[in-house]
Structure 1
């Protein structure tokens, strides 16, 4: 029989874990979006070296499992690169670069979806390529990219559960810790699942509404 008092007695740990999860989701999504934009623009560059560099970045991070990259960032960098990195920095770096590779493809596709005539019109008005991108192309593309970017950010929140493997006290780590001394994993992990559902179902609904709005 479920003993929900376990959750009440340890609610401070659960709240702390939730705040950590939300913090890493927000920070890594913002950093990843900035990196992803740079990578997307690199792939659209006229310079072949930049296009290749952008493509290599995307293929590298999209094809290595996040768990492997997370563990490598924390345990292997100090060994092979002599970089003394904290678990917080390793977690932020791994999650940011990983999601950046997905954001980059979303951004690249969004930019390419804008009619080339928009760019030609901007050039005719005397704008440089960078000005046309900043003032004309990106503002229009962002409207189309909001739904897929929202969906990827939702996935990013679920990805943060892997932070527990390097002992960052996120929601899943706190659940494991509570289970270790209460011996009531069923209640704890059920609560974790419910917390994610309460947060992600509304976000998924909003993402679908945005997508439907954009399609119409």
Structure 2
């Protein structure tokens, strides 16, 4: 039997998918911004001469990176209210969970970027009288951030795909909306095909921009070395 494709129902249900895509985009932006901020703090902790700060950063990074993102999401949604006595909404739980998840991975990007700065740069900053904080602020981070940009771009794409985890706690992002439509219309193939096309339409230009940026930064780096 040949399957009869029919996308006609999406003509009037398409706006629901677009609303789901909007919610996905909001979650993506919030989790990315918060994750980058958390990652910067933890990345600096991981690079700190202080053993206590390195321990804090290491415990955080290894704990998050070695547990599934779905488990973290479910724990935040179900366990946190028990501990705090405050019920969290699916939006809040997804935002917190994905921010922490992203923070752990970006922390390693920050740590690697900081470690890539030549020892001479640190010594020059120290010779100017800068302490560790000012060395990091004025000399190391500005140079390291440029080297981190391509890795941040790749992490952003991974985060966009990870937002689909929020469908498990009934947050109305794209995948959850698609699941609802597919069950109502009994057309899962067409619905999830539309989801695939929407994700591709959003992420393909981002991926292309990252590749172009990597090439541009690579050319600048080679010119500086020459």
User: TM class by shorter-chain length?
Assistant: over 0.9
Task: Write the deviation string for residues 63-106 of structure 1: whole angstroms up to 9, x where unpaired.
Answer: 11001111111112223453432221111110000010000000
Counterparts of residues 79-158 of structure 1 (less than 5 Å): 79-158=82-161
2:164 counterpart of 1:161: yes
Query: Could you say what secondary structure the match of 2:9 adopts?
Result: helix
Larger displacement relative to structure 2 (79-88 or 29-38): 79-88
* Count of matched residue positions in the alignment of Structure 1 and Structure 2: 216
TM-score of the pair, normalised by structure 2 = 0.92
Unaligned runs of 5+ in 2: 220-226
Query: Could you say what secondary structure the match of 1:10 adopts?
Result: helix
Unaligned runs of 5+ in 1: none
Provide the aligned C-alpha RMSD in A: 1.2
Cα distance in 2 for residues equivalent to 1:84 and 1:180: 28
Alignment correspondent of 1:184: 187
Cα distance in 1 for residues equivalent to 2:90 and 2:137: 36
Counterparts of residues 60-79 of structure 1 (less than 5 Å): 60-79=63-82
Cα distance in 2 for residues equivalent to 1:172 and 1:63: 25
- 1:207 deviation in Å? 1.3
Cα distance in 2 for residues equivalent to 1:6 and 1:136: 57
Cα distance in 2 for residues equivalent to 1:162 and 1:7: 24
Counterparts of residues 12-23 of structure 1 (less than 5 Å): 12-23=15-26
- 1:169 deviation in Å? 0.2
